[in-house]
Amino acid sequence: MRHQRLSFLVAFLVASIAVPVLAQKITATIRGTVTDPSGSVIPGAKVTVKNEDTGLTRTGESNSEGIYSFQELPVGNYRIEVEQTGFKAEVRSKIAVNAADTRAVDVQLQTGNMTEVVDVEVSGLAVKTTGADISGLVTGEEARELPLNGRNFMQLTFLQP
């Protein structure tokens, strides 16, 4: 009986001090700075981020330093549109973000009519230029092609630094 109580007490203590694992991140961040042709920041610019795959749309404004940030975005391809009175609208499309990515997409607005739109397609980023975290993405193809001993998925963790 005493052993049973002790086992219950130990199990209760372990369960009560367990904390969730916060190291795994399944979302991404897109941030950047909005500037004019002279390099001066543009505060209050309307910034719209749209997931090209699902249609998820978020809207915000650049702050007093011209910086915008959209956090907790689901993985996918995004389109960013930046508008400000007196400037041409700027559009960046095909911005791919993966889990735990922080993509910096700086936008320079050109002066002109508001009816003109500049559309720029963003290519894949080979070098991570923002953040100090260590993360990576193992694609489904890589997982299928690897000679995993016993098909243990935990061996995929050795692919990342």
**In this predicted model, what pLDDT tens digit does every residue of 68-96 receive, in sequence order?**
999 999 999 999 999 998 899 999 999 99
Range of the domain at 59: 28-121
> Strands 107-108 and 76-83, how do they pair?
unpaired
User: How would residue 160 be classed by pLDDT, with cut points 50, 70 and 90?
Assistant: low
Per-residue pLDDT, 114? 57
Q: Is residue 83 part of a domain?
A: yes
Q: Answer yes or no: is pLDDT of 119 > 90.
A: no
Q: Answer yes or no: is pLDDT of 104 > 90.
A: yes
Distances in Å between the Cα of 152 and the Cα atoms of 99, 137, 157, 160 are 22, 17, 10, 16
Q: In CATH, what number is assigned to the domain containing residue 63?
A: 2.60.40.1120
Q: How many domains, the chain?
A: 1
User: pLDDT higher for 72 or 124?
Assistant: 72
